[in-house]
Amino acid sequence: MKRKDNLKKTAVVAFGGNALMGEDGNSTYAEQMVKTDLMCNKLLSLFNMGYRILITHGNGPQVGNFLMQQESSAENIPPMPLDACSAMTQGQIGYMIEQRLRNTFTINNIKKPIIVFLTQVVVSKDDPAFNDPAKFIGPFFSKEDSEKLSRDEGWLMREDSGRGYRRIVASPKPVDIIEKEEIADMADRDFVVIACGGGGIPVIRDEAGCLSGVPAVIDKDFAAEMIGNYIGAELLLLITPVDRVAINFGTPEQKSISKMSLQEAEQYYLDGHFPPGSMGPKIQAAIQFLRSGGKKAIITSLDCIEAAIRGEAGTQIIHCH
C-alpha cells in the first residue's frame, strides 16, 4: 500500500496476544486486564516523547480459547466460524485496551481522543498458507493431550518453542486493509487508534469486489507493518514475551541481539534463525517495514518497553549500525 508522508512522528505498537496472557495461555479476563493496565502505563513514555500512536494486538491465545468454547457447546448452540471468532475477540480486546487506556489518561490528566476500529483485512484465496497451517492459537497442551486432541477432534497440533503443544491454523498474508483510509484519517486527527486487532478479520474479495470471511488468523505483525506503512509511521514496536531476539535459539550457541542492521536481519532470517511459527513473522514484518520507508523496528517485552525506547533493552532493527 502507498506510504503517506506525515509531519508528526508516529509509532505503531503491536502487542502479541500472548503478552496479555499468562505463560500457559489460560489467563482469566481479570488477569488480562492487569496486564493491559501495565501495557497502557508503559505507553506513556511514547506519548511523552511526542509520538502519536496506533495500537494493534494479537489474539492467538484468545481466539483459540474462544473457538474451544464454541466447539464445546456445539451440540446445543451452533458454533461461530473462525473469522467470526476473530471479530469477537478483536472487539473484546479492543474494548479492554480502550477502557484501560482511558483510565490511564484520566489518572495522568491526559486529554487524548481514542477510537477502536473493527478491522477487516483482505487475504488471497490462493495464499499457500491455506494448505500449510502454521499459526498457533489457544492454550498449551502436553504432548499426550495434543495427540488425543488430534485423534479425537481432528485438530492440527505442533510444538511451540519448547513450551508445549498448541493448535495451528492457516495464517495467510494480508494484501489490503478495508478500513485503512478511515484509520489514517483518525490518526491524522491525532486520535489514538486501536486497529487491525488479531491481524484483522480475514476476508477475501470476489470478482465483484464483495467481501466474505475465511477460516484463518492473520499474523498481527504483518498487519501492523502494513497499516504502519500506510499511515507513514517511523517506528514499529513489536511486543513479545521475550526481552530480546536471539539467534541459535535453544542451543548452546544461543546469543541475544541488541541491535542489527536491515541487512543482518535479512541474512539471519535466510539462515533459518527465526522460524515461521515463532519469531519469523516479527522479523519479516520489521524487514518489510524498513524496506518501505520506516526508520526503526524494536522487538521487546512488555516490561522492557520504556528501556527499549531509550535504546537500553530489546532488539533494534535499523537501516545500518
Residue 119: Cβ-neighbour burial (10 angstroms; 0-12, 13-18, 19+):
buried
6 belongs to the catalytic site? no
Cell of 210: 464483495
13 sits in which H/E element: strand 10-15
Residue 106: Cβ-neighbour burial (10 angstroms; 0-12, 13-18, 19+):
exposed
17 belongs to the catalytic site? yes
Q: Let me know: does 223 contact 112? Beta carbons within 8 Å.
A: no
Q: Which of 138, 180, 282, 314 is catalytic?
A: 282
296 belongs to the catalytic site? no
Cell of 111: 486529554
Give the Cα separation of 65 and 68 in Å (integer): 5
Cell of 320: 545500518
Strands 296-301 and 235-240 come out as: parallel
**Cα angle 235, 301, 276; round to 5:** 80
Give the Cα separation of 242 and 83 in Å (integer): 28
**Three-class SS of residue 97?**
helix
The single residue listed with the C-alpha cell 508528526 is: 8
Those residues whose C-beta lies under 8 Å from the C-beta of residue 268, and which sit 6 or more positions away, are 247, 260, 274, 283
Q: How is the beta sheet containing 157-159 ordered, strand by strand?
A: 135-141, 165-169, 157-159
Give the Cα separation of 35 and 28 in Å (integer): 11
Give the end-to-end CA distance of the chain in Å, rounded to a whole number. Answer: 28
135 belongs to the catalytic site? yes
9 belongs to the catalytic site? no
Give the Cα separation of 134 and 241 in Å (integer): 19
Q: Which of 18, 59, 65, 229 is catalytic?
A: 18
Q: Which of 16, 60, 94, 135 is catalytic?
A: 135
Cell of 82: 473462525
Q: Which of 220, 228, 277, 314 is catalytic?
A: 220
Query: Would you please indicate which residues are annotated as catalytic (active-site) residues?
Result: 17-18, 135, 220, 282
